[in-house]
């Protein structure tokens, strides 16, 4: 019966194939795409029910379909698995994915390329499921690249907007940097263990080992030059960390995520908040054994997470675009998860991943509803007072914002508190202080956003705001319920999630710290009230295209925050532009401007090329020969001088 878990990724894939080759009509596309993802969700629930019926230490269903690679030295099965960790990810992906598919039917209604949209979305779900279900690094990488590809296609989906295709390319290229490190990490794993399987798997009667079970074997081994040896575990886990910073938009590679908001809003909700960007966190959690073996990498992970949370959190304050606030907030919350991984609190990371997946999807869909209801308005300066026009959106958004801000008893409170409590109980003081500050900032900018969108008077009367249709509000309500009760899966008294993940992560439940919880709650309530108060009081002063009320007090710092600490500008200056210059320099030296005339030979043959031209032209063959000769000299010199 193991093969049944193949249905989970295959059903969305069937949707993709149908949408590409068969379906031409919008209605059919939406129904088929959503229906198949719902079916996949149902299968996943059934499979997980079966999984939970197994005794605790045997909770791992593996299914291998064929030998993907089978050479003497390298064996990679094309196999997927379902274990407790994968199970929660699968539930998140298919559950939130199904809701967002349904929502998209309403949101994308009337778009000329909607069939393509659903095809991409189905492909994305498939690839994301491969990412979380793969039983070896190579399948994980297949999903990893696949979701990157879908993300690229979907960010650039509305390519009529100039920024969309640029943002798509930026996302893909930045991710490739992380992927390069990921590939190297994978090669290093293969070179050290001779396998890429996570766990032992038997294929066709032969048992292949898994590297996670064999990590202790390489502890103590080093690589690198004699004068600076590096522990092997550190090298591998660090490479994987770089890979994760790309996919999960961490410092210093986070710059692509805010731009990725150029895609349709449901895409932002699904890919750039709930699922794909958590791929890095999932990958680190899966390889927890490797990371745990290297304290060096762990502290890097911790600091990268903390810094990202703070930088992105502060940047979110100063945004005017409704989606960019959420984008920076996503980066910031991903920072929380990564920091949790760095502290070794993997359950907390996964817990936060789940609750964040729900309430951030809710916020994005709410933002989509606002954008939809205000006729494609994204600038919050043009909004205001929308709570009367769109009550459902307002109430659900409020729930999401409360959850993100960490208000008791919403889902975000419990998961964030678990991370902070872990930091406290393990004496990570500096990190705790920064994370705590960041959570106050989070509460502040959510208060600000709610005030700007829903309170005061509508500042731009060029549109008539209206509530979205049923197909969009029902997913909002469903997600809002999730955001309210989602914390229940790992309450300090029940810690059901910790127990569920124990076979994979072997972690004990953290201690609940009442004092910290009280302080955090008070801080969250206070900060969000402050944000709400400032921006409702000053609502009248906010003008379209104008400055923020807080600008008076902070001055230029505000500009810096608005541009996310100028990272984009920095990269443009120190990386992009030098590369462009190098490219054009190389083109001018090694590729003489498309041979503006190379015709020595033909010129002589036809005898009619002008003197002027010929003199110019005769240069090139000669130049090539000259460079050739220089190469000969270099090669000969190298060989004769250095190899003897």
Partner 1 sequence: MATVIQIIFGLIAALIVGAAVMVVTVRNVIHAALWLIACFFGVGALYLLLEAEFLAVVQVLVYVGAISILILFAIMLTRQVTGEGVRQLVGGWRLWLTAAISALLFAVAIVPTVISHSWNVPAPPAPPGTPEPLAGVAELGRAFVYEFLLQFQVAGVLLTVALIGAIVIAFEERARRRRVLTLAEEHELRKRLAHPPPVEAPAGEPAPAPRATPISEGEVQQ
Partner 2 sequence: MESLQIPPVDLRLLTPLLIVVGWAGALLLIDVFFVPDGRKKITGYLAIAGLAVAGLAGIPLWNLSGSTFSGMLVLDRYSLALTWIFLIAGALSIAVALDYLPRHAIEQGEYYPLIMFAVGGMILMAQSADLITLFLGIELLSITLYILTGFAYPRVASEEAGMKYLVLGAFAAGFFVYGIALIFGATGATSLAGIAAYLGRQPFAPQEETLFLAGASLVLIGFSFKIALVPFHMWTPDVYEGSPTPVAAFMSVGTKGAALAALLRVTLALEEAQTFWLPILAVLAAATMILGNLGALGQSNLKRMLAYSSIGHAGYILLGIMVAAERGAEAFLFYILAYTLTNLGAFGVLIALEQRGEAAWSIDDFAGLYQRRPLLAVAMALFMFSLAGVPPTAGFMGKFFIFTAAYAGGLGWLVLIGVLTSAIAAYYYLRVVVKMFMQEPVREVRPELTRGLNTEILIAGVATLILGLLPTPIVLLVERSLVALGG
Residues in region 581-600 near partner 1 by CB under 8 A: 593-599
Q: Show Cβ contacts of residue 333 under 8 Å, excluding neighbours closer than 6 positions.
A: 309, 352, 356, 360, 404, 442
Q: Which residue has the tokens 């197909």?
A: 471
Number of residues that bind partner 2 (CB under 8 A): 71
Partner interacting with residue 609 (select from partner 1, partner 2, none; CB below 5-8 Å by kind): partner 1
Under the criterion CB under 8 A, does residue 636 sit at the interface with partner 2? Answer: yes
CA 137, CA 184: separation in Å to the nearest integer?
Answer: 12
Among 425-433, 438-446, 502-510, 609-617, the segment contacting partner 1 (CB under 8 A): 609-617
Binding mask 123-152 for partner 2 (x = CB under 8 A): ---------------x--xx--xx--x--x
A 10 A CB-CB count for 337 gives 32
Contact 129, 232 (CB under 8 A): no
Handedness of CA 478, 480, 481, 486 (dihedral sign): positive
Candidates 161, 602, 621, 624; binder of partner 1 (CB under 8 A) is: 602
Torsional class of 543: left (φ above 0), alpha (ψ -120 to 50), beta (otherwise): beta
Which of partner 1, partner 2, none has residue 265 at its interface (CB below 5 to 8 Å by kind)?
none
Would you say 183 and 145 are in contact if contact means Cβ atoms under 8 Å apart?
Answer: no
Residue in 547, 615, 621, 624 binding partner 1, rule: CB under 8 A = 615
- 176-207 as b/e: b if 16+ CB within 10 A: ebbbebbbbbbebbbebbebbbbbbbebeeee
Strand partners, 197: 136
Q: Map the footprint of partner 1 across residues 621-640, applying CB under 8 A.
A: 626, 629-630, 632-633, 636-637, 640
Nearer CB in complex with partner 2: 295/610: 610
Question: Count of residues binding partner 1 (CB under 8 A)?
Answer: 29
**Residue 576 near partner 2 by CB under 8 A:** no
Q: Which two tokens stand for residue 504?
A: 């994979």
Distance CA 593, CA 130 (A): 45
According to the binding rule CB under 8 A, does residue 605 interact with partner 1? yes
Q: Would you count residue 558 as binding partner 2 (CB under 8 A)?
A: no
Shortest distance (Å) from residue 475 CB to partner 2: 28
* Beta strand pairing call for 75-82 and 61-70: antiparallel
d(CA 520, CA 52): 35
State which of residues 617, 624, 642, 643 lies at the interface with partner 1 (CB under 8 A).
617
Residue 593 partner contact from partner 1, partner 2, none using kind-dependent CB cut-offs of 5 to 8 Å: partner 1
Helices (H), 254-384: 256-259, 265-269, 279-286, 288-292, 295-317, 322-343, 346-373
Among 3, 25, 27, 70, binds partner 2 (CB under 8 A): 70
519 binds partner 2 (CB under 8 A): no
Tell me whether residue 67 or residue 572 sits nearer to partner 2 (CB atom): 67
Residues 78-117 binding partner 1 (CB under 8 A) are: none
Rounded CA-CA distance 54/290 in Å is 27
For residue 190 the two structure tokens come to 């293969």
How near is the Cβ of 612 to partner 1 at its closest, in Å?
8
Q: Single out the segment in contact with partner 2 by CB under 8 A; choices: 164-172, 290-298, 387-395, 545-553.
A: 164-172
Binding string, residues 430-449; x marks residues near partner 2 by CB under 8 A: --------------------
Draw the binding track, 19-48, toward partner 2 (x: CB under 8 A; -: no contact): ------------------------------
Q: Is the peptide bond before 222 cis (omega within 30 degrees of 0)?
A: no
Interaction of residue 250 with partner 1, rule CB under 8 A: no
Rounded Cα distance between 177 and 243, Å, is 8
Cis peptide before 409 (omega within 30 of 0): yes
Among 206, 461, 612, 643, binds partner 1 (CB under 8 A): 612
Among positions 169-228, residues that touch partner 2 (CB under 8 A) are 169, 172-173, 176-177, 179-180, 183-184, 187-188, 190-191
Residue among 91 and 169 whose Cβ is closer to partner 2: 169
3-class DSSP assignment, residue 74: coil
The residue length of the chain stands at 644
Enumerate binding residues for partner 1 (CB under 8 A): 593-599, 602, 604-610, 612-613, 615, 617-619, 626, 629-630, 632-633, 636-637, 640
């Amino acid at each position: 019966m193991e093969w049944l878990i193949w249905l989970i990724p295959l059903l969305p894939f069937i949707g993709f194939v149908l949408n590409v080759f068969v379906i031409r009509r919008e209605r059919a596309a939406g129904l088929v795409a959503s229906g198949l993802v719902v079916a996949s969700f149902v299968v996943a629930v059934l499979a997980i029910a079966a999984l939970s019926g197994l005794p605790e230490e045997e909770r791992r269903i593996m299914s291998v379909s064929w030998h993907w690679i089978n050479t003497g030295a390298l064996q990679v099965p094309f196999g997927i698995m379902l274990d407790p960790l994968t199970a929660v990810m699968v539930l998140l992906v298919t559950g939130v994915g199904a809701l967002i598919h349904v929502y998209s039917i309403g949101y994308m209604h009337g778009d000329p390329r909607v069939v393509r949209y659903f095809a991409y979305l189905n492909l994305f779900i498939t690839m994301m499921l491969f990412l979380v279900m793969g039983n070896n690094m190579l399948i994980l990488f297949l999903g990893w690249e696949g979701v990157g590809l879908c993300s690229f296609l979907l960010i650039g989906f509305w390519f009529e907007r100039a920024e969309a295709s640029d943002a798509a390319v930026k996302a893909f290229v930045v991710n490739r940097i992380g992927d390069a490190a990921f590939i190297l990490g994978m090669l290093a794993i293969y070179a050290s263990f001779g396998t890429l399987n996570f766990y032992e798997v038997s294929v066709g009667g032969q048992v292949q080992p898994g590297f996670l079970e064999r990590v202790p074997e390489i502890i103590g081994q080093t690589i690198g030059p004699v004068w600076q040896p590096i522990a092997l575990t550190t090298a591998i886990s660090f490479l994987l960390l770089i890979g994760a910073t790309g996919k999960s938009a961490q410092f210093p590679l986070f710059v692509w995520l805010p731009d990725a908001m150029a895609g349709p809003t449901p895409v932002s909700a699904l890919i750039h908040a709930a699922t794909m960007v958590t791929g890095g966190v999932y990958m680190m959690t899966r390889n927890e054994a490797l990371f745990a073996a290297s304290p060096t990498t762990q502290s890097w992970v911790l600091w990268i997470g903390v810094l990202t949370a703070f930088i992105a959190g502060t940047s979110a304050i100063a945004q005017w675009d409704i989606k960019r606030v959420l984008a920076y907030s996503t980066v910031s919350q991903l920072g929380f998860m990564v920091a949790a991984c760095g502290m070794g609190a993997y359950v907390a990371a996964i817990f936060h991943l789940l609750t964040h997946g729900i309430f951030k999807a809710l916020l994005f869909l709410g933002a989509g509803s606002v954008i939809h209801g205000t006729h494609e308005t994204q600038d919050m300066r043009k909004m205001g007072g929308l709570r009367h026009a769109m009550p459902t959106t307002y109430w659900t958004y409020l729930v999401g914002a409360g959850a993100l801000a960490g208000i008791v008893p919403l889902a975000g409170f419990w998961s964030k508190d678990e991370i902070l409590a872990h930091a406290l109980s393990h004496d990570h003081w500096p990190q705790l202080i920064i994370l705590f500050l960041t959570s106050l900032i989070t509460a502040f900018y959510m208060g600000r956003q709610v005030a700007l969108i829903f309170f005061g008077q509508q500042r731009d009367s060029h549109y008539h705001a209206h509530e979205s249709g049923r197909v969009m509000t029902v997913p909002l309500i469903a997600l809002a319920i999730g955001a309210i009760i989602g914390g229940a899966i790992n309450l300090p008294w029940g810690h059901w999630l910790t127990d569920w993940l124990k076979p994979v992560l072997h972690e004990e439940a953290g201690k609940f710290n009442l004092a910290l919880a009280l302080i955090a709650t008070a801080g969250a309530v206070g900060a969000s009230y402050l944000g709400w108060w400032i921006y409702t009081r000053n609502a009248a002063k906010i003008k379209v295209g104008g400055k923020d009320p807080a600008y008076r007090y902070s001055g230029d710092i505000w500009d810096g925050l608005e541009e996310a600490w100028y990272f984009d500008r920095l990269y443009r200056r120190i990386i992009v532009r030098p590369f462009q210059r190098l490219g054009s320099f190389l083109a001018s030296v090694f590729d003489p401007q498309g041979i503006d005339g190379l015709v020595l030979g033909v010129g002589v043959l036809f005898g009619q090329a002008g003197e002027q031209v010929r003199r110019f032209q005769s240069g090139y063959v000669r130049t090539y020969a000259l460079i050739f000769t220089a190469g000969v000299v270099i090669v000969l010199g190298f060989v004769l001088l250095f190899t003897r």
